[in-house]
A = this chain, B = another copy of it.
Amino acid sequence: MSSQYGKKLKISIFGQSHSPAIGVNIDGLPAGIALNMDALHAFLARRAPGQSELATERKEDDTPEILSGLVNGVTCGAPLTAIIRNKDTRSADYHELCDIPRPSHADYSAHVKYGGNQDVAGGGHFSGRLTAPLCVAGGICLQILHTLGIEIGAHILRIGGAEDSTFDPVRVSVADFTAIQSNPLPVMRRSAGDAMRTAILAAKEKGDSVGGVIECAAIGLPSGLGDPIFDGIENRIASIVFGIPAVKGIEFGNGFAAAERTGSQNNDSFYMEADTVKTRTNNSGGILGGITNGMPVLFRAAFKPTPSIALEQKSISLSRREDTVLQIKGRHDPCIVPRAVPCVEAAAAIALYDTYLDNIMLNK
């Protein structure tokens, strides 16, 4: 098994929901980069639990401790490892789940894979909590990309029927990313966020949960990033984004909508703007043949509703090999989509900075 990602920037995620700590090892950070810890903490706060009635009540301050890789706050070229201690754990809540797997959760498949030795408490290594170290690595990459003129932003596009505006595929800007952060929920239109909030609370009220879609954009990328066939930008981003629990689909540019169109409708024609090559539309999401063309990179990720719901569900007893019912205890998010927004940005940042380091020469 492998919880590692990356070619030049090697990210190793470790920990379980209730283990002494969770963390990440980042091997391959260039030396000489000063990290802004306040900015990193602010980024992590966007996914931290226990903040609002929309999220789990589990309280974790999620302050990472950097164990290595820094000298006076500057990267020294050695692997950077950061850990986050687990504090507010209630393993007792999960005892029953050793025998009765939660529908649509990893309990059963992990039970088979690990012969019953997996860490059940809090979902173990499969917990959404493991996105905290992902965000530590991603937050660092976002800071470095910023110095390279590359910015990444995401917002909730859809939750429970409520829909936000989409990014303008050609003109999406840093101003959009800033505006999103000014809203209570990360959306372009505050009213859309209010509708989403209503939908989430309605689900919570019923002991149910809702899914949603997140849209992400990366701007300022040079053209020529990415590689053919198996190492294209789509391959690289998809293989990390599916590392975020609950993601079941991803599309780039206009994605599935492109399948309904003709070439003459869908092709992005080129034109010169001063000496810069641009396209009038951006159905390709800034990626041609797996390689950036200088236009914004755009993708959307679909999140299934949180499988852990309070409502009684049908399941089985692994020990008795018979059908039974399950009433899940513990504290869960009625919708993980709002907290997943920074996770998607983090995943994109890791994938794109790794590609940048891997392609640094751009073959020149």
Contacts and interface: CB of A to CB of B under 8 A. Distances in A.
Nearest to A269: B314
Contacts of A197: none
A267 B307 contact: yes
B322 A267 contact: no
A344 interface: no
A245 interface: yes
A47 B357 CA distance: 36
A158 to B, nearest CB: 6
Nearest to A233: B242
Contacts of A271: 314, 316, 323
Nearest to A116: B32
A174 interface: no
Contact of A238 (B76, B213, B235, B360): B235
Interface hub of A23, A66, A83, A302 (most chain B Cβ within 10 A): A302
A267 B306 CA distance: 9
Nearest to A21: B67
Interface string A250-284: 11111110111111111111111001010110011
Kindly report how many copies of this chain are found in the complex they form together: 4
B261 A211 contact: yes
B28 A2 contact: yes
A197 to B, nearest CB: 16
Given A67-B14, A314-B269, A118 B242 contact: no
B112 A69 contact: no
A275 B321 contact: yes
Chain A to chain B: the 10 pairs with minimum beta-carbon distance, closest first: A106-B289, A249-B251, A78-B125, A109-B291, A249-B255, A31-B114, A209-B263, A1-B227, A269-B314, A258-B304
Given A211-B262, A256-B302, 9 more contacts: A3-B227, A30-B361, A108-B223, A108-B277, A113-B362, A114-B363, A211-B261, A235-B240, A266-B307
22 contacts: A2-B28, A10-B12, A19-B78, A20-B68, A67-B83, A79-B125, A104-B266, A108-B277, A109-B223, A109-B291, A110-B289, A211-B259, A230-B242, A235-B239, A248-B258, A248-B284, A249-B259, A258-B302, A259-B304, A262-B305, A280-B314, A360-B361
